[in-house]
Structure 1
Amino acid sequence: MKKNIIAVCDSDAEYACNFAEYLNNKKKLPFQAEAFTNAQTLCDYAGKNPPEILLIAEGDVDSRVENLGAENLIVLSDERDREEEQHKCVYKYQSAESIIQEVMTYYANSSSPAFYAMSERRMSVLGVYSPVARCGKTLFALTAGQLLGETKSVLYVNMEEYSGFGELFSMQTEKSLTDFFYELRCKEGKALHGVQELIRPMGKMDYLPPVESPEDIREILFSEWMQLFELIRKNSRYEIMILDVGNSVEQLFRVLNLCSRVYMPVQEDLMARCKLSQFRKLIKSWGAIEEERIREVRLPAFQPEGRDNNLIEALSWGKWGSCVRKVLEKNGEFKGAGKP
């Protein structure tokens, strides 16, 4: 998978090159670092390849750099306690690991909390995600949508490589999210009309027909998901949006950080515990999302019977439906949904 770029610009060539090399040796970072030793070279590059994060020495910031309009421009300051003005400042001469932690915390929080804080006033955004396979994640998300849909207007968005919906629900839709994002890139002005055309009913909630292939999910940029979610938030009646998040989504942790709460179905076997431990370490080291927003969920075994509407209706009942309802009640979902 292609990595996003962190540009490191400093007229001190040794610092820029050494820091970029250090970043590239941090295999767990989802970024590739590029070093620049003057503003003009940086601007020439950024004009064609906008970096996701730009780290630039305080003395190298000029009008050319400002005109790039980089969303995540972070100044490497010579002063430890320099007051931040227009841009985030990070002390340049602390350890590289400390710089990375500050940068990643800022990056994760730069847009996501603003989105979900605004959404809470009109639309609550709930995430369902797990690093563990075969844990009932999608069935939990679908069930939550049905239960919350009893009293709220709910939209479900599947963000997985393989949703299986075409077979499970015998779906025959003319268009899907694949078509929406294609049109978004080609005809941005018609995006609102495009998303309204896509929405379909499913029991007590609505949903957007998922993408058609794993490649489609991997090619959708985080900024494009944000455009979709903003269109929904600003131009729809939904009180709750449920994101069923897969592992191939670009900038996974930023997507999770859009959610006021993330439900994470887990299992008790050895590999599940190891994967969960790795996930917890990553979100802690990156400062990606507050751990208190993540709710681990342990679900009973459930074997769906039937398809189409029969399955949708069955989700809300029995031991399975009762378990999901209790999880949602415990976390106040039936009380605190957003108001239209």
Structure 2
Amino acid sequence: MHPKNFVICDVEQEYGKNLMKAIGMHRELGFQMHLFQELDQLKEFSKQKTVHIMLLGEDYPAQERRLIEADKRYVLVKGGERELLPGEKGIYKYQSSDMILGSILEETVSAGEALIRKSINTTKGQLIGIYSPIHRVGKTKFAINLGMDLAKSGPVLYLNLEEYSGDGYYFPEKEEANLGDLLYYIRQETGNLGLRISAIAGQVKGLDYISPMPVIQDLRSVKEKEWINLFEEIFANCIYRTVILDLGDGIDGLYEILRRCYTVYTPYIEEPVSQAKLKQYVRNLRQTGYEDVLEHTIQKKIEVRAGEDT
């Protein structure tokens, strides 16, 4: 099988690098990966070589995208209606690399490659972690918006594991039970977890959520094994195939939870102190043996306006 030229072009450099690395790990698919940030460079490349699969960010104008020849054309969209050209297919940008690749393989795989696509899409469920060592960068807002967008395609559960979650700011209709009650219920190992969650979960714009634990000490007392068991129980006994984890620094086993996520989004802002914190976080992952977390991490640049709630 001759290698297929798989091209990624996106204005977010770190996003493009991480996505290319994740897709490139599937060497059995025979993709020759190419990454661009400037559309002019991609145009020149397409004149010299055949582009079999092209994945473009929506930030590039449609009138410029149409000038590039490609066998299969996909546009990374951020949500909502977007102008797509004939022959283009939109793929939601902020989801796991496996889900992006799975959508592409639906149309491009040969019979021999179908087993690979099946293996990607038949996992019990996916954890998506949202974590940043930088505070007040819009992390929770990003996590909730991501969950709402993913919920358009299937049931999604949002869990806030921060020490200070805002106490009802994002979900004003306060539920009687919270995440602490759910953990207690699982410890008792009684009854149907799916029914229990449906009884205590709230919903906003299609996204299900469990109210966070209001007492910091209770959150800190939950051990790593209990968190892992909770996620496994949800996937084994509930309708959710995607769980969004809004993670804070105070939970036990943070790095291990990040390791178990299919995708980790790390919001950041371009500011000296924030950049220093981000570098320290990356260095800590490497020094503590969790460098593999970086392989499925997408650093997401956030534009925070003055006075904006995060």
TM-score bin, normalised by smaller chain: 0.5 to 0.7
Question: Structure 1 residues 286, 178: closer, same or farther in 2, change over 3 A?
Answer: same
Match status 1:295 vs 2:298: yes
Aligned partner letter, 1:188: E
Indicate if the aligned counterparts of 1:184 and 1:190 stay in contact, CA closer than 8 A.
no
The Cα of 1:289 is off from its aligned counterpart by 4.3
SS of alignment partner, residue 290 of structure 2: coil
The Cα of 1:269 is off from its aligned counterpart by 1.6
Indicate if the aligned counterparts of 1:125 and 1:241 stay in contact, CA closer than 8 A.
yes
Q: 1:148 aligns with which of 147, 150, 154?
A: 150
Distance between the aligned counterparts of 2:211 and 2:121, measured in 1?
Answer: 22
Identical-pair percentage: 32
Query: Counterpart in 2 of 1:269?
Result: 271
The Cα of 1:190 is off from its aligned counterpart by 4.1
Aligned partner letter, 2:159: V
Q: 2:225 aligns with which of 223, 227, 234?
A: 223
Match status 1:189 vs 2:190: yes
Indicate if the aligned counterparts of 1:129 and 1:244 stay in contact, CA closer than 8 A.
yes
Which consecutive unaligned segments of at least 5 residues does structure 1 have? 1-116, 307-314, 316-340
Please report the TM-score for the alignment, with normalisation by the length of structure 1: 0.51
Indicate if the aligned counterparts of 1:253 and 1:289 stay in contact, CA closer than 8 A.
no
| CA shift digits 1:117-147 (9 cap, x unpaired) | 9996132211100000111110000010111
| CA shift digits 1:244-301 (9 cap, x unpaired) | 1100010110011110110000112222111111111111112214122111111222
Indicate if the aligned counterparts of 1:160 and 1:244 stay in contact, CA closer than 8 A.
yes
Indicate if the aligned counterparts of 1:180 and 1:191 stay in contact, CA closer than 8 A.
no
Query: Counterpart in 2 of 1:332?
Result: none
Distance between the aligned counterparts of 1:119 and 1:177, measured in 2?
Answer: 28
Which structure has greater helix proportion?
1
Which consecutive unaligned segments of at least 5 residues does structure 2 have? 1-118
The Cα of 1:184 is off from its aligned counterpart by 3.6
Query: Counterpart in 1 of 2:262?
Result: 260
Question: Structure 1 residues 243, 305: closer, same or farther in 2, change over 3 A?
Answer: same
Aligned partner letter, 1:238: Y
Instruction: Tell me which moved more, 197-206 or 262-271.
Output: 197-206
The Cα of 1:189 is off from its aligned counterpart by 2.4
Distance between the aligned counterparts of 2:189 and 2:298, measured in 1?
Answer: 36
The Cα of 1:160 is off from its aligned counterpart by 0.6
The Cα of 1:303 is off from its aligned counterpart by 7.6
Indicate if the aligned counterparts of 1:123 and 1:239 stay in contact, CA closer than 8 A.
yes
Q: 2:177 aligns with which of 166, 172, 175?
A: 175
| CA shift digits 1:197-255 (9 cap, x unpaired) | 32221212111111112112101111111121111101122221111110001011001
Distance between the aligned counterparts of 1:261 and 1:227, measured in 2?
Answer: 19
Query: Counterpart in 1 of 2:204?
Result: 202
Query: Counterpart in 1 of 2:88?
Result: none
Q: How many residues align?
A: 190
Task: Describe how 1:9-88 pairs up with structure 2 within 5 A.
Answer: none
Q: Considering only CA atoms, is the larger Rg found in Structure 1 or Structure 2?
A: 1
| CA shift digits 1:51-91 (9 cap, x unpaired) | xxxxxxxxxxxxxxxxxxxxxxxxxxxxxxxxxxxxxxxxx
Question: Structure 1 residues 143, 248: closer, same or farther in 2, change over 3 A?
Answer: same
SS of alignment partner, residue 209 of structure 2: strand
Q: 1:138 aligns with which of 127, 137, 140?
A: 140
| CA shift digits 1:10-63 (9 cap, x unpaired) | xxxxxxxxxxxxxxxxxxxxxxxxxxxxxxxxxxxxxxxxxxxxxxxxxxxxxx
SS of alignment partner, residue 172 of structure 1: coil
The Cα of 1:179 is off from its aligned counterpart by 1.8
The Cα of 1:195 is off from its aligned counterpart by 3.5
CA RMSD of aligned residues (A): 2.6
Query: Counterpart in 1 of 2:287?
Result: 285
Distance between the aligned counterparts of 2:249 and 2:136, measured in 1?
Answer: 13
Question: Structure 1 residues 251, 119: closer, same or farther in 2, change over 3 A?
Answer: farther
Indicate if the aligned counterparts of 2:179 and 2:210 stay in contact, CA closer than 8 A.
yes
Distance between the aligned counterparts of 1:120 and 1:248, measured in 2?
Answer: 32
Query: Counterpart in 1 of 2:162?
Result: 160
Distance between the aligned counterparts of 1:262 and 1:241, measured in 2?
Answer: 12
Indicate if the aligned counterparts of 1:154 and 1:242 stay in contact, CA closer than 8 A.
yes
Distance between the aligned counterparts of 1:173 and 1:258, measured in 2?
Answer: 28
Match status 1:235 vs 2:237: yes
Distance between the aligned counterparts of 1:190 and 1:217, measured in 2?
Answer: 24
Question: Structure 1 residues 133, 119: closer, same or farther in 2, change over 3 A?
Answer: farther
Indicate if the aligned counterparts of 2:157 and 2:244 stay in contact, CA closer than 8 A.
yes
Query: Counterpart in 2 of 1:246?
Result: 248
SS of alignment partner, residue 122 of structure 1: coil
Indicate if the aligned counterparts of 1:131 and 1:275 stay in contact, CA closer than 8 A.
yes
